Amino acid sequence: MTSKYKIGDTIELKTKDASYAGLVMPSTTAETLFLRLFSGYQVGIKKKEIKSATIVAAAKKEKETVEKKKVEINPKLSTISILHTGGTIASKVDYKTGAVIARFTPEEILAMFPELQQIANIKSRLVRNMWSENMRFAHYNVLAEEIKKEIAAGVDGIIITHGTDTLHYTAAALSFILENLPVPVLLVGSQRSSDRGSTDAHLNLMNAVYFAANTDLATVAICMHNSTNDDSCVILPGTKTRKMHTSRRDAFKAINASPIALVDYHKNEINYILKHAQKKDKTKKLELKLFNEKIKVGIIYQHTNMFAEQFKLYEKYDGLILLSTGLGCPPIIANDEFTAENAKIFKALQSLMKKGIIIAFAPQTIYGRIVLTVYEPQRMVLNAGVLGNCCDMTPETSFIKLAWLLSNYNKEDVKKLYSQNLRGELADRITMDMDEE
């Protein structure tokens, strides 16, 4: 007979073919039991195959405590507010139980990062606790409202901790939502969890707070590792940055743009790479232009052997971003016995636009810009009403900008504003130092 066990219990169990003993771990599926064996290895066992299970030692309830020291306010230091949305930067893993322990209060943050007290007065609270891939337009609006509250309370800068997978989407979204921003807003994450020796959480957060407390720049930006070394962090523009690696600590890169600055809190250094006109000015009145949560914008990746049906799937959408090849070369020309479908694709694009759906091209090459005046297929789509000519926005910023414009303007204005530089999302010119090395 199988005993009732829970996470953290030490159990012995038998299946038809083997016996196991170990610690019950959190499971990703209800059908499988995960055990950390005494050897240190983990094993997954289908629950339906368990013949018997005996609890050898029940889990001990060890209450995690943080010493509640009163947070001292230093009038000589700036006040920085840290708003948490989840991710690993303010968490640690208990490898005995597999549980993730999150830290969000000022006392807890200062217990994890005590050096922060020498840099700024810290406010800290949880806004949402979620995986970044679950973010929706509604969450961007929630974050914007919370930022507005902190600015109204008089803070000198705001840090947003965020999961890295969609951090650049949120940076772009907040860049558009927040008008007349009076203080810096920095998004920061970590590629490696806080308990690992190779974690980037500490350096990223420390440098983000140092920059926010000492810069005169007021914009939305990203603060992450500048290299694989633990030397400095880079401040990256909110609308011109992309995650370019799944796991490297320096995964975030400026695309078709230069970084804003390098920051090293150890040396008390901020080295600006770009001149900036968006100066900190707490007399500015922040305005919010939020997202319409019901707006539907799709992204379709151009590839060989496409079919018109792929485009017709977006007939009920408000907008569509086509990640096109090269300078923006859509497969719309029928030039031999195998390419009749291409002409149908052009008709499908025309049909979508006649229905009022805004279509814009973005470069799937990532670097460079769309130019729709070089070849005949490009001129065809440009004349048909496709947007994006001469734009060098990343796929993510293209998506966010189109959705934001559709949320706040009529479609005729959207067509005019899409190719205008509103938040630094378009580069006047692309130089060699902006290309990927």
Q: Is 243 a catalytic residue?
A: yes
Dig out the tokens for 276 from the structure. 């900036």
Q: How many Cβ atoms are within 10 Å of 223's Cβ, its own excluded?
A: 29
3-state secondary structure 284-316: CCCEECCCCCCCCEEEEECCCCCCHHHHHCCCC
Is residue 433 flagged as an active site residue? no
Active site (annotated) includes residue 416: no
Q: How far apart are CA 217 and CA 239, in angstroms?
A: 16
In the set 243, 392, 397, 401, the catalytic residue is: 243
Catalytic residue, chosen from 14, 47, 54, 165, is 165
Active-site option among 10, 79, 85, 88: 88
Instruction: Tell me which residue of 257, 268, 248, 191 sits closest to 221, measured CA to CA.
Output: 257
The catalytically annotated residue of 79, 85, 164, 215 is: 164
Contacts of 26 (CB under 8 A, 6+ apart): 7, 34, 97, 98, 99
Question: CA 281, 429, 242: angle at the middle one, nearest 5?
Answer: 70
Residue 318 annotated as catalytic: no
Q: In angstroms, rounded to a whole number, what is the distance separating the alpha carbons of residues 423 and 435?
A: 21
Q: How far apart are CA 172 and CA 162, in angstroms?
A: 13
Q: Over the range 167-191, which residues count as b (16 or more CB within 10 Å of their CB) and which as e?
A: bbbbbbbbbbbbeebbbbbbbbbbb
User: Checking DSSP bridges between strand 220-225 and strand 241-243, what pairing results, if any?
Assistant: unpaired
- SS3 of 144-196: the string is HHHHHHHHHCCCCEEEEECCCCCHHHHHHHHHHHEECCCCCEEEECCCCCCCC
Active site members? 88, 164-165, 243
